[in-house]
Chain A
């Protein structure tokens, strides 16, 4: 205790944020960095979304109308890279920065200087990545998975793509080390591991996943780099390598990455549903164990992404059953959320609308995932729009909705003002309707055999593609409502109370709204 209060006095020299724009450049405050991450993510969301709209505009009709095929391919590639590494991951890290110290009663992140670096690498990484679009030969166009040998045959911008992925990886790994150190060392006395809010738990597990697999991705892309420029033959059959090996290494990273993109969302939903159902979370311990099981299983299912490369039957069976096993812990989570709502005094404010929307539509995506896990069926579905529909259902109404739910839920705490409830609800309903218009038809064209990543398609898919494109533009533009609500809330509005939500539970609701620049410099007492 005496050590903690000594630190307290050191900090008394600087109370609030430094004036001017250098505040943001030099900041080591977890709230400032959280804000930076979230705003960065929002900007990238519109860049990646713009790319998606170019894709959907081209696919509105069969034939080639808008863009040439190479540019189309670089749009699908960049859309994925931007949305995964530039939107979902930074948004979760931003939320972790803002919320984890407040949730565990710590004064800041464990390694504040590292935290500043983690963020400021990101804008440069994405500047590097996006600049490849304007280079000779265009941006990467071989798909975000960068499969060799196709990815090695593009323009010379390839080296920039690899370096930007290295930078993103360094940022994620530093952020994760920081989060683990924070959770292990900065908890208020009495905050035992099994008392931590689930958002903290899911992030702890996510951080370990990131630390374990991002270096594998770094290794895989480094092998690509040396294959291309330094004469190695990891993936070149002529030199004794094997392109299929790239897929194994990539998906050893890639599948845990999928759960990196969704586990923090599970934590957010586990915070929001109890608040608005006004009941404690059903089955807290089982939620923790389910999260850990999902994380463990994510390491042994990677080859379900490559059922068509020609694996021995035993291998296909193993990966099929291991994949299906993931639906058990995921099912535990879904049923726990439903049980939490069961006979609760539910109200449907915007965060809860997004949480319930998550629950319903994420489950649709999970179900189509289960269909894809079936090896013989997957050979038909592989690389069709059915796969596109599947992963967009788990990522958009899954990861993205959870981020929006979190924003509406905690924004009053961040800004001190209530957001505009009417426009929040309009945002939810308009988004949800257009989202389903956008992604649901993709199931149909996928089952009928429309391949993904192709700028042109057969006449028979025309109708549903036109419908999907209308949904895409509707969904894209309805996100401007989100920007409006966020900006309005930042500028003012009805003052939020400290507790904000009637049924809210957790340390973050015990500090004033807006949360002061420094919170919990003296650790709170935990019941």
Chain B
């Protein structure tokens, strides 16, 4: 009896370790996914680190259309719009663009923009030298800001892509600036 009982416990123990391991693997998928996305641009995420402007442009004849899109997340009371709809850019050259944000929540608030590039295969060729999406923005009630973006599209962008869509989603991160009164 005891040998059989021991055999049961050995199997149950080993399988329990597998259970714990697979639970951990579920969480391990988070960094794996992020690394894969960094390498492949799978989810359209662009780098959140400022890039360095390229030195010289080899082909000034090629033009790529960049479209600017904006979305305000769920029901947050913000106005968030690009000041330009599209731009014709030469890959390798740096350009300036701006987005305009108005806080309509009626109280001080903090917002954060999250970028996404479509098609996702273009994401890793889209570089930002300066971007409002690198930081949070603090707003007074009714506060309005023009926010800058300096970017370039790498010359290595595959020839098959002639339009790149840059989409920002604006999130109300819910934090209030330090010292603001509770409402």
**A216 near B171 (CB under 8 angstroms)?**
no
Which chain B residues border A483 with CB–CB below 8 Å?
none
Complex Cα gap A245–B42 (Å): 11
**A216 near B23 (CB under 8 angstroms)?**
yes
Nearest B residue to A315 via CB reads B42
**B120 near A238 (CB under 8 angstroms)?**
no
**B12 near A238 (CB under 8 angstroms)?**
no
Most buried by A among B8, B27, B40, B169: B8
Q: Let me know if B77 is at the binding interface, CB within 8 A.
A: no
Least CB distance from A484 to B in Å reads: 41
Q: Let me know if A234 is at the binding interface, CB within 8 A.
A: yes
Q: Let me know if A213 is at the binding interface, CB within 8 A.
A: yes
Complex Cα gap A237–B118 (Å): 16
Which residues 55-112 in B have Cβ within 8 Å of A in the complex? Answer: 73-74, 112
Q: Let me know if B179 is at the binding interface, CB within 8 A.
A: no
Which chain A residues border B74 with CB–CB below 8 Å?
149, 153
Q: Let me know if A345 is at the binding interface, CB within 8 A.
A: no
Q: Let me know if B22 is at the binding interface, CB within 8 A.
A: yes
**B11 near A181 (CB under 8 angstroms)?**
yes
**B171 near A252 (CB under 8 angstroms)?**
no
Which residues 191-216 in A have Cβ within 8 Å of B in the complex? Answer: 211-216
Select the stretch in A3-11, A417-425, A511-519 that faces chain B: A3-11
Which of the residues B30, B118, B173 comes within 8 Å of A310, measured between beta carbons?
B118
**A7 near B4 (CB under 8 angstroms)?**
yes
Which chain B residues border A153 with CB–CB below 8 Å?
74
Least CB distance from A136 to B in Å reads: 19
Which chain B residues border A245 with CB–CB below 8 Å?
29-30, 33, 43
Nearest A residue to B26 via CB reads A219
**A242 near B45 (CB under 8 angstroms)?**
yes
Complex Cα gap A249–B30 (Å): 8
Which chain B residues border A238 with CB–CB below 8 Å?
73, 112, 114, 169, 171, 173
Which chain A residues border B173 with CB–CB below 8 Å?
238-239
**B43 near A244 (CB under 8 angstroms)?**
yes
**A177 near B12 (CB under 8 angstroms)?**
yes
Q: Let me know if A110 is at the binding interface, CB within 8 A.
A: yes
Which chain B residues border A310 with CB–CB below 8 Å?
43-44, 118-120
Q: A238-B112, A238-B114 are in contact. Are A312 and B18 (CB under 8 A)?
A: no
Instruction: Count residues of B near A (Cβ-Cβ below 8 Å).
Output: 42
Q: Let me know if B16 is at the binding interface, CB within 8 A.
A: yes
Which residues 10-50 in B have Cβ within 8 Å of A in the complex? Answer: 11-12, 15-16, 18-27, 29-30, 33-34, 37, 40, 42-45, 48
**A185 near B120 (CB under 8 angstroms)?**
no
Least CB distance from B166 to A in Å reads: 15
Q: A220-B26, A238-B173, A242-B43 are in contact. Are A181 and B12 (CB under 8 A)?
A: yes
Q: Let me know if B183 is at the binding interface, CB within 8 A.
A: no
Instruction: Count residues of A near B (Cβ-Cβ below 8 Å).
Output: 44
Q: A215-B26, A242-B37, A252-B29 are in contact. Are A173 and B19 (CB under 8 A)?
A: yes
| Binary CB contact string for chain A from 371 to 412 against chain B (1 if under 8 A, 0 otherwise) | 000000000000000000000000000000000000000000
Which chain A residues border B7 with CB–CB below 8 Å?
181, 184-185
**A184 near B1 (CB under 8 angstroms)?**
no
Q: Let me know if A165 is at the binding interface, CB within 8 A.
A: no
Which chain A residues border B45 with CB–CB below 8 Å?
242
Which chain B residues border A111 with CB–CB below 8 Å?
8, 12
**B15 near A180 (CB under 8 angstroms)?**
yes
Which chain A residues border B30 with CB–CB below 8 Å?
223, 234, 245, 249
Which of the residues B15, B42, B48, B114 comes within 8 Å of A177, measured between beta carbons?
B15
**A237 near B169 (CB under 8 angstroms)?**
yes
Nearest A residue to B116 via CB reads A237
Q: A237-B169, A242-B37, A310-B44 are in contact. Are A215 and B8 (CB under 8 A)?
A: no
Least CB distance from B142 to A in Å reads: 22
Which chain B residues border A218 with CB–CB below 8 Å?
23, 26
Which chain B residues border A236 with CB–CB below 8 Å?
171
Nearest B residue to A212 via CB reads B22
Complex Cα gap A7–B20 (Å): 32
- List 10 A-B pairs, minimum CB-CB distance, nearest first: A219-B26, A238-B171, A215-B23, A215-B22, A216-B26, A181-B11, A237-B114, A110-B8, A177-B15, A7-B1
